[in-house]
Structure 1
């Protein structure tokens, strides 16, 4: 699959895909005799994994380290697991903070709604 097809299929810009490859987030993508990238399903899986992890807030640095360890083989499983555990902890904390923010927003919205209801009731009484 060519880069334009991958870009369209995964809704990721071609520049982003090239960047991911350049910094080592996508393991070596083979090229045809004309030098054009030929993406395999495995490459698409990496791109989807990267997007998911980035969307969750993982740093590029952590992902580069993870992919580097992955390419070194099974002897790095514990190191990869450690990266994922550290990132999971960060994400869990972020979710907790966001939950607190959501609760605060809900409280503020309720206060505004209660205030508007009181104004409506006051207007009915005055009539």
Structure 2
């Protein structure tokens, strides 16, 4: 079990962000000790890691909240969860292609600058 401070440090997320994620349903409710202090289990930490990863690639909060709700409903929602992730993967691949086009333009521009600088 880990405290919110330990989870915050481990995943480089602020404690406020962790509380917010829990409040809006982005991660399932974290159990609390009798004193009221959050006590993160390994499963809670896996959720935090998953959400951080998915947010890092730009998945919308609303999509992740929907995914968590579906997960909490059980195995009857496996196909819906797969479809949700499949659609997000499709969107990610499109963004990656767009980013590769921009990267190539940047590389060309930098190369031209380097050539210009080396000529002077």
CA distance in 2, matches of 1:25, 1:15: 13
Match of 1:93 in 2: 94
CA distance in 2, matches of 1:85, 1:9: 29
Report how far residue 34 of structure 1 moved: 1.2
Match of 2:35 in 1: 34
**1:55 pairs with 2:60:** no
- Matched residue of 1:37: which SS? coil
TM-score (norm 2): 0.95
Report how far residue 2 of structure 1 moved: 1.1
TM-score (norm 1): 0.90
CA distance in 2, matches of 1:57, 1:3: 24
**1:104 pairs with 2:105:** yes
Q: Any stretches of 5+ residues in structure 1 without a counterpart?
A: 120-127
CA distance in 2, matches of 1:3, 1:113: 48
CA distance in 2, matches of 1:87, 1:16: 23
Question: 4+ runs of 1 displaced by more than 3 Å?
Answer: none
Report how far residue 25 of structure 1 moved: 1.4
**1:114 pairs with 2:115:** yes
Let me know the Cα RMSD of the aligned residues: 0.9
Q: Any stretches of 5+ residues in structure 2 without a counterpart?
A: none
How many pairs align? 119
